[in-house]
Amino acid sequence: MAKGRSYTPNTALIQGQRDVAQSQALANTAGGAAFAKGFTGAIVKGIEEQEKRDAIRESYLDDLQNPQNMRKIEDGYNKQAITEFLNNKKEAYSKAVDCYSKTKDRGCKEKMEEIKYSFSNLNSQLDMFLTDKKSYLDSFQNGQLVDLPGDEKYTELYTNNGGFNIEENGDLGMNVGGEYNKYNDVVGKWNVENNIYNTHILKSSFDSKTNGQAGKIFNRDIQKNSTSAVLKQTGYDGVMTATRSDFGFDDQYILPNGQKAGKMTFEHMFANGMLSDKYYDGSLTGVVYGKKNTDGKGWNLGEDGAKWFWDKNNSKDLTNLVAEYSTDVNETMHGQGVAQRQAVLQQQQQQKKNTPWYLQESQAKAKEVDNVIEQGITAESLAGITMSRSANRGIQKNDDGTFTIWDAQGNHTDIDPRKPEEARQILYGLAEVKSIHKGKGKYD
């Protein structure tokens, strides 16, 4: 059975000089003790001094602790690299301690401090690595991860396929695909879905349809400028991730070729020439991105497709295109809302044509009563209800806050605003509302 790899420090690196150590071992035996009597005073003194230096080194090495986060790193290449770094540094530290204990040289002391800092710094870097690795894998599990060109290094590093390089001061670095990066420069810079844009576009799409249903106009300039502003605040990487994400707001949007956008990303639709001519012919950005197919259907962008997306210098143009697409979708949603409104109005008009005049009149009176109850009973609002001629609208406000309505024969009916549902039913009767139109309000 193969033995597991050992990551314990190499204690041989911190031993004293060989000859002195052997003499010390002899002195600790019975024969050695007798032999040691014959030693010169210089040898005995050397043994004593060596013991002092060893004690000093051990004291300093106790203070130079292994990074605690090393224990959380899985066995494998990275842990081996960390162990080798620590052992080499401990050897250098032991020499610096020996130098300082003998000479009190400031340079030796500074070397000791540098090594202590490298251990502390490495521990901090490992902490960042472990925290970022968890966030990265959690984002992947939650379906939020979006890989942009260059993000391959994170896949390698956070799946134990990429190796650490540990710099002299304890900084981590990584070599992936022939490219070296300091970990400090790339930590946390992997990309997730642009949730700021996602929230904005889902709301604006919903509002566009709702406004259409309410008969409100659609303003393209306001819509596009609003979306552009949201995209700009997320930075060029936020705009890039927006092109590689499917946010769901456009699933039913019909492309020029008659196909639904469905789960396709903007990048896919653009690169495959599936959008309308204005996206490719320079109308929006002043740049022509491809050639129109000979059959007049779609565009050919060549092998590069949407490669220019990933140049941050093109972020302004990319923002313009994505905002234009979002506005196109929203305008379609608004149109659907308008169509639904028109269908409802036509249905209502048809129903009105088929409804006898006396039922239309009853329904209108019911609305008058309902409005009075909802907005608050006053003498003026009561006078606005179309009551039967016999009621005669003789209306009096009483000291207790109630109202009295007198009819032509001198009979009266009391209305108490504090009992709105009771008042509603009384007013329905005075207005001669048909039973089918007698509804109930929010006071039920």
> How many domains in the chain?
3
**Secondary structure element (H or E) that encloses residue 203, with its range:** helix 195-213
Name the average pLDDT for the chain: 80
Within-domain flag for 3: no
What's the pLDDT at 420? 92
**Structural domain for 383, as ranges:** 357-437
pLDDT tens for each residue of 322-364: 999 999 999 999 999 999 999 888 887 777 777 787 788 888 8
Domain check: are 41 and 155 in the same one?
Answer: yes
Instruction: Show which of 287, 315, 349 is a domain's final residue.
Output: 349
pLDDT at 9 (0 to 100): 44
**How much is the pLDDT for 40?**
56
Q: Are residues 23 and 170 in the same domain?
A: yes
- Of 349, 366, 381, the position where a domain reaches its end is 349
Same domain, 159 and 285: no
In this structure, the answer to whether residues 47 and 24 fall within a common structural domain is: yes
Is residue 401, in this structure, part of any structural domain at all? yes
Residue 177 and residue 270 in one domain: no
Side-chain half-sphere exposure of 269, counting CA atoms within 13 A: 29
Residues 54 and 162 both lie in one domain: yes
Predicted local distance difference test score (pLDDT) of residue 259: 92
Tell whether 170 and 296 lie within a shared domain.
no
The answer as to whether 59 is a domain residue is yes
Note the pLDDT tens digit of each residue in 73-93: 766 667 888 888 888 888 888
CA 241, 243, 246, 249 dihedral sign is: positive
Q: Tell me the pairing of strands 164-166 and 394-397.
A: unpaired
For residue 420, what is the DSSP state?
H
The reply to whether 321 falls in a domain is yes
What backbone torsions phi and psi does residue 287 show, to the nearest 5 degrees? -115, 130
Q: Is 173 exposed, middle or buried (0-12, 13-18, 19+ CB in 10 A)?
A: middle
Q: Taking the alpha carbons of 386, 388, 394, 398 in that order, is the dihedral positive or negative?
A: negative
- Answer whether residue 6 is part of any domain: no
pLDDT value of position 128: 86
Q: Which neighbouring-strand residues pair with 164? A: 174
Parts of the chain with a pLDDT under 70: 1-66, 74-77, 160-162, 388-393, 440-444
- Asked whether residue 1 is assigned to any structural domain, the reply reads no
372: exposed, middle or buried (C-beta count within 10 Å: 0-12, 13-18, 19+)? buried
Residue at a domain's end among 134, 152, 186 = 186
Question: Do 145 and 163 belong to one domain?
Answer: yes
Query: Within this chain, do residues 150 and 206 fall inside the same structural domain, yes or no?
Result: no
Q: Are residues 157 and 227 in the same domain?
A: no
* Residues 247 and 307 placed together within one structural domain of the fold: yes
Residues 42 and 144 in one domain: yes
Residues 6+ apart with CB under 8 A from 221: none
